[in-house]
Amino acid sequence: MKKFIKPLIINPDLIISLIVFVPLFLLVNNTFVIVLIYSLTCLLLGPVTFSIIGYLERKFSVFDRKEIANPVLVLGGGHTPDVNLPSNQQLTSGAMGRVFEGLRAFHSSNSKTLVLSGPSLSNGHPSQAEIQENMLLGFGSIAPQAITRLDQPTTTEEEVISYQNIFGNISPILVTKAIHMPRAMKTFHLYGIHPVPAPCNFIFKEKSMEWNKWIIPAFTYTPFLGELLKEVFGILFLIFRSTTQPKQVLSKA
């Protein structure tokens, strides 16, 4: 009994639900409307978000190709330009996850090149690629000559172009967060490059959703819903471009 009561009582989603829906009920004073809104919120923030993100994240398996020797490309994941902090603390947790997965892919394969990407966010400050390089060299986990930096790209498409300008159409071992991997792969495909996926930073590592998320809106999933919408609309935009302007897209390379 305790395992059923505890998730309900010690639950930030329940507190947020009370804060949102009690005043809404008093304001609207229509039980049917409130129940409908509550049910739709439960569905959207719970099963819908969980299921679609889980589907996108598991389209590609975790990298395990010891025989491959292609370059490992780590897409940029964000940083804070603060020279008073050491390199590892300037990176976002997402960027850290990507770098370490890239390093794992580099050492677990026959790759000889680790490509780090990310721009500078302020004048006179190192690029994210340089910050990541400094961190890895500080750890002594890779030789300097094995690292190639892409210091300018600010979007996935620009990263594709920068990579292609150096390596041509050689398929990279592509490292990015799992939810972003389908869109990143499609972007590379538009330029005639077919990467080997190495997804990381999985949002949902469990295979089933907690039962209480079916009956209490999972407001803690709200940031994940934002990420999901960004990726879905990004994929739809790429599909639209590939069908209406395929030659213009490819000509950028």
- Does residue 250 register a pLDDT over 80? no
Which CATH number describes the domain made up of 72-202+238-251? Answer: 3.40.50
- Does residue 242 register a pLDDT over 50? yes
Half-sphere exposure of 64 (CA within 13 A, CB side): 3
Average pLDDT value for the chain: 88
Higher per-residue confidence, 249 vs 239:
239
Determine which of 20-34, 98-112, 219-233 has the lowest per-residue pLDDT on average.
20-34
Other C-beta atoms lying within 10 Å of the C-beta of residue 175: 34
- Does residue 247 register a pLDDT over 60? no
CA-to-CA distance for 171 and 26, rounded, in angstroms? 59
CA-to-CA distance for 113 and 42, rounded, in angstroms? 46
Q: Is the pTM of this model over 0.95?
A: no
Instruction: Please state, for a pLDDT cut of 90, what percent of the chain lies above it.
Output: 62
Mean pLDDT across 162-188: 96
Q: Are 102 and 174 in contact (CB under 8 A)?
A: no
Within the chain, all domains assigned CATH 3.40.50 are found at 72-202+238-251
Sheet holding 173-177, edge to edge: 147-150, 114-117, 72-74, 173-177, 196-200
Higher per-residue confidence, 213 vs 8:
213
